[in-house]
Structure 1
Amino acid sequence: MSSSILLLSFTTTIIGKPPDTTASKKEWRGIPTRLNNIPHSREIRKYFYDDVIQATKRAIEDKKTRLQIDINIPELNPEMDVYRIGTLMELVRDLSLTFADDGKRVKVCVQGSMGQGAFAGIPLQLAGTRKILEFMDWGDYGAMGAFINIGAVGASEVDKEDDMFVLIAPQNAVGNCIIDDMRAMTDAAGDRPVILVNPRLKDMPASSGVMQTMGRDVRLQYAASFETCYSFRLLFYAGTFYPIMGALRMAYPNKYEIFRRVDEPNGEKYDLLAEFTGNPTADDITNAFVGPKKKKENALSGFWGFLSGIL
């Protein structure tokens, strides 16, 4: 990826679709361009922070209490070598301060060490996260310690004065499952909002290398109980991270939208291809790009086969 920094622009073309009258869409400026330039500019980061915050606020205003944020721009995708923990911390800080400004007491939670003996430790993505939070600038108005506190994941971290909880990238590790601690925490929180930011709750192998099958359905059901209020990811050809083919976005209460990235003489733009009420599958995304008929016609030749892996 290029390391140059370019000016931020926003371009989205919606073809054959009447203007949406909802306030959330009126305020949206379109998908930022130049997302393949790393590091991201401050303007791009701020755009996404604001996009996440507005969607989350709308969900909270609608009395949603179990929420999930999934945002995988390059700097927030742990699968990419440009992953930047500082971007995740900035997002969590801006989100927490927004609710603190409204008088809410927010507890920001990072899971602690899990396991025993040789298998004790913190997932690599979260190593050092709590220290970073403690040393960050939380503003000039004394929010830290008054309206914002830092804690771990578990029932014992739920205090009666807490109004809401933000969990940073809770995730299972080999031989250890964070879901039991999360369930205990949400039970203790009751009807107070719990927001997961970029969770990774798929089942992991036990320390013996065997998948943890006991209680697996219950764990997956619990993980699925969190409603996504914001989702954004770039779309690539299977097995690659370049070039960007498009994007998938959902900001509560709107639908999931698939966009195609289009190069233009003076830049690029994103065209809306399709909308879905639920998170589209890989086949849904493929059909949006090439159409179900064309996909079927080319299935035997394998020409379009790689598109089914767009993720």
Structure 2
Amino acid sequence: MAELPKTLEDAIAQSCEAVKSALADGITRIQVELLFPELKFMTVAEQFLPQFTEYESRLKVFFADAGAAALARRDWTDTQFQISDIGTGRAASLEAKIQPEDEIFLFIAPTSVEVPQLEKLCELIGDRPVIMLTPRLEDSSVVGIGYTARETRRRFISTIESCYYIRPVDDESALFRCYPGQWEVWQEIEDEYQKIVELPKKPSGDELDAILLKGQTANTADATPARKPSVFKSLQRFIKALSS
């Protein structure tokens, strides 16, 4: 059973194992979400990518735009994987971005703006594995999206398995999932984090609020909550220090 990570390195190591477990189980649409506002996606990518060097040139890494891809090519000189961009606004070029020899695909920090291109790329990719690293596909700050675009985004997101997820709900609670485990809600009680519930599906905002309000324990055979050190705040402080 995975525990709340103590450091960013712990979280990334957990996420890599979760991804590998999901791939071994035949899941081909995967996302890794570390939802800390201060966290820089390149910091995560630089530590995540070495876990997949075995794929060498068969790994293709996509950034949201050409500028980010160019910076990665400049900074990541000693790499065997390929670097590209999603190509927003250049739909005609999407087909050329996916080649038969490509075996696995990593999309770094894609946003809701790129969903139409992502969906088309995934159609071209077929049943080959796709990993979304720190995506922002449900970014509530994007306004002016029409009904059709919202439905496209909802449909696309529904095809992706969130195999690693960690998000501070507030200063005293967190939502956590590490595949193949269930969704877990952790809450700080008397200076210790307790796992207060396990859920088979990601809770909605209202469901999460109700769980935290009640402080209910998991409805499992073991009714005793898992008591862990108060590590979540340490992780938040670590990320803030890293990003400063």
Q: Distance in 1 between matches of 2:185 and 2:140?
A: 30
Indicate whether 1:161 and 2:114 are aligned. no
SS in 1 for 2:16: helix
Give the superposition deviation at 1:149. Answer: 1.2
Q: How does 1:1-311 map to 2 (within 5 A)?
A: 25=1, 28=2, 30-32=3-5, 44-73=7-36, 77=37, 83-85=38-40, 88-101=41-54, 105-112=58-65, 129-136=68-75, 142=78, 144=79, 146=80, 148-153=81-86, 154-172=94-112, 177-202=113-138, 210-214=144-148, 216-236=150-170, 244-264=171-191, 269-291=192-214
- Closer, same or farther: CA 292–111 of 1 in aligned 2, 3 Å: closer
- Closer, same or farther: CA 210–72 of 1 in aligned 2, 3 Å: closer
Contact 1:255–1:276 (Cα < 8 Å) also in 2? yes
Compare relative contact order (CA 8 Å, sep 6+) and give the higher one, 1 or 2: 2
Give the superposition deviation at 1:84. Answer: 4.2
Contact 2:116–2:152 (Cα < 8 Å) also in 1? no
Give the superposition deviation at 1:259. Answer: 0.6
SS in 1 for 2:174: strand
More helix per residue: 1 or 2? 2
Q: Distance in 2 between matches of 1:271 and 1:204?
A: 29
Give percent identity, aligned residues only: 22
Give the superposition deviation at 1:103. Answer: 5.6
Match of 1:37? none
Structure 1, unpaired ranges of 5+: 1-24, 34-43, 78-82, 114-127, 237-243, 294-311
Q: Distance in 2 between matches of 1:256 and 1:203?
A: 21
> Which has the higher Rg, Structure 1 or Structure 2?
1
Residues 257-293 of structure 1 show CA distances to partners (whole Å, capped at 9, x for unaligned) of: 11112454xxxx3111001000012333233333299
Q: TM-score, normalised by structure 1?
A: 0.60
Residues 102-134 of structure 1 show CA distances to partners (whole Å, capped at 9, x for unaligned) of: 667211101226xxxxxxxxxxxxxx5334422
Residues 182-235 of structure 1 show CA distances to partners (whole Å, capped at 9, x for unaligned) of: 1221111111111112222348899xx743233542332122211111111012
More strand per residue: 1 or 2? 2
Residues 46-95 of structure 1 show CA distances to partners (whole Å, capped at 9, x for unaligned) of: 1111011111110011111111121113xxx2xxxxx242xx22322333
Contact 1:231–1:251 (Cα < 8 Å) also in 2? yes
Q: TM-score, normalised by structure 2?
A: 0.74
Residues 133-186 of structure 1 show CA distances to partners (whole Å, capped at 9, x for unaligned) of: 224457xxx5x1x3x1110123321122211111111113xxxx4222112211
How many pairs are equivalent? 209
Contact 2:31–2:163 (Cα < 8 Å) also in 1? yes
SS in 1 for 2:167: strand
Q: CA RMSD in A?
A: 2.8
- Closer, same or farther: CA 262–210 of 1 in aligned 2, 3 Å: closer
SS in 1 for 2:65: coil
SS in 1 for 2:32: strand
- Closer, same or farther: CA 196–171 of 1 in aligned 2, 3 Å: same
SS in 1 for 2:49: helix
Q: Distance in 2 between matches of 1:63 and 1:204?
A: 31
Q: Distance in 2 between matches of 1:231 and 1:131?
A: 28
